[in-house]
Amino acid sequence: MASNNGMELNKIAAAVLLAGLIGMVAGKMTEFLYEGGPKHPGHHAEEKRGYSIEVVEESAAGDAGAAAPQGAPDISALMASADAAKGGAYFSKKCAVCHGVDKGGPNKVGPNLHGVMGRSIASHAGFGYSDGLKAKAGESWNVENMNQFQYNPRKWAPGTIMAYAGTKKDDERANLIAYLQSLK
């Protein structure tokens, strides 16, 4: 009997010990998970930051949505006072790395843009356009669609291979388009 009780006690002791161990392990795991959390927030915060920028863009586009279904505010009124020389300076900084503008000049990373306004979209000889831009090939470039493309290339032509975020300032887009109009 005494030895039986002893065994029971041993079992109980073992069970308590085991429970304690499990508790400790669980505690450690919880700690680990919590510590693991704060070690990564850099990542999460970055992901979140990137994501919220996207959201801001979307909602900004959404706000303008009523007036301009594609997202870019209308700039037709600004075109009258647009400055092609300023647009040219902007082009040199932001676009010339990928686009030549000389008549008969070669394509670079992007197609040559001589005479681009009024030209059929995605039609310059010898350039391998994306399906995204080719989907727009029924239209010719005009102020309206160039405004949309320059505002947000990937939104207006999903799948475009033009790796450029877009020009969000209305006067800068107007100047830029005035410059593109002068390339003839």
Minimal distance, residue 107 CB to ligand HEC, in Å? 9
3-state secondary structure at position 140: strand
Nearer to ligand HEC, 16 or 109 (CB): 109
Q: What b-and-e string marks burial along 73-101, b requiring 16 or more CB atoms within 10 Å of the CB? A: eebeebbeebebebbbebbeeebeeebbb
Per-residue binder mask for ligand HEC (CB under 6 A), 136-175, x = binder: --------------x---------xxxxx--x--------
Rounded CA gap, 176 and 12, in Å?
Answer: 83
For residue 36, give both structure tokens.
């693991």
Tokens of 23: 């508790």
Please state, as a whole number, how many other Cβ atoms lie within 10 Å of the Cβ of residue 165. 10
As measured in angstroms, the least distance from the Cβ of 94 to ligand HEC is 4
Nearer to ligand HEC, 45 or 165 (CB): 165
- Which residue, 61 or 110, has its beta carbon nearer to ligand HEC? 110
74 to 113, contacts with ligand HEC by CB under 6 A? 94-95, 97-99, 109-111, 113
Spatial CB neighbours of 14, under 8 Å, sequence gap ≥ 6: none
Judged by beta carbon, residue 62 or residue 115, the one nearer ligand HEC is: 115
Which span sits near ligand HEC by CB under 6 A: 4-12, 48-56, 74-82, 122-130?
Answer: 122-130
Size of the chain, expressed as the number of residues it contains: 184
Binding site for ligand HEC (CB under 6 A): 94-95, 97-99, 109-111, 113, 116, 121-122, 124, 129-130, 132-133, 150, 160-164, 167, 176
